[in-house]
Amino acid sequence: MQGLSYSGEAEGKRQSYYVFEGSEFFLVLSFSHTKPSAGNFNIVESDAADYVYGRFAGVKGVTTNDVVEKGRRSRHIPSTLAALNIMYVLVARGRASIDTRRVGPKLFFNVKRKHA
């Protein structure tokens, strides 16, 4: 875990997610609002984040189910939890945003276009 650098954060429905970048992966941390000194972490491979960004650049209203569906044949997205953490990485890095106009429990993401 040495050499991690802070990439940014993403604000989910119930928690904040803090993203740190390593040489080949991202570390996504979240802390519980209800339980002091408790939290979770997940690891996202850099290749997985790049793959999803490449597949969804310029697309609005992306859900984790969309990410799982498009990545079904790849090794990058094994579950909806992995897809969600990948999207939090993209948000923290400024490559996507959470669409706050949508209500309900499901998150929708707007992925920014690639710059030429």
Residue 71 lies in a domain: yes
Q: pLDDT by residue (tens digit) across 21-57?
A: 999 999 999 988 788 788 999 999 999 999 999 999 9
Q: Could you list the residue range(s) of the whole structural domain that residue 88 is in?
A: 5-111
Provide the whole-model pTM: 0.92
Q: What is the CATH number of the domain that holds 65?
A: 1.10.10
Residue 55 lies in a domain: yes
Measured CA angle at 24 (ends 86, 20), to 5 deg: 60
Q: pLDDT by residue (tens digit) across 47-64?
A: 999 999 999 999 999 999
Residue 92 lies in a domain: yes
Query: Cβ-count burial of 103 within 10 angstroms (0-12 exposed, 13-18 middle, 19+ buried)?
Result: exposed
Locate tokens 């106009």: which residue? Answer: 101
For the chain, give the mean pLDDT: 92
Residue 42 lies in a domain: yes
For residue 116, the model assigns a pLDDT of: 57
How many domains does the structure of the chain reveal? Answer: 1
Residue 116 lies in a domain: no
Helix, coil or strand: residue 87: helix
